[in-house]
Amino acid sequence: MNIPSDLRYSSDHEWATSGSTVVRVGITDYAQDALGDVVFVDLPKVGATVAAGGSLGEVESTKSVSEIYAPVPGVVTAINEALSASPELINNAPYGEGWICEITVDDAAVTATLLDAEAYRALTNN
């Protein structure tokens, strides 16, 4: 299971970049593996204000439909348009081309409230 040490993680299996007021968000390798083949992604709207733990959209796979939750509060300032045509990017590159959106936060330190790689590894028993 791939758990990059330079990212932060939510207990809902989303990842977030840290160190900036623009936080890129996606779902973890663990989550995409549990979902199976992703066939559709319902992306958030640019300009939407989200609360930490609030819904960002949904990921539909051959197994189920799962909510995507915002790991940080802020405003959605970019979405990964490539997922509309190629939702499988979430399976192929969850930490790269499979990112979901970018959220602009008021304080870059907000990501410090998320799990580090070691804590996320313990959560997932990996």
**Alpha-carbon distance 50 to 36, whole Å?**
27
Low-confidence ranges of the chain (pLDDT < 50): none
Q: How does pLDDT run across 66-94, given as a tens digit for each residue?
A: 999 999 999 999 999 999 999 999 999 99
The pTM (predicted TM-score) of the whole model is 0.94
Tell me the domains of the chain and their CATH numbers. Answer: 8-124 (2.40.50.100)
Q: Cβ of 53: how many Cβ atoms within 10 Å?
A: 13
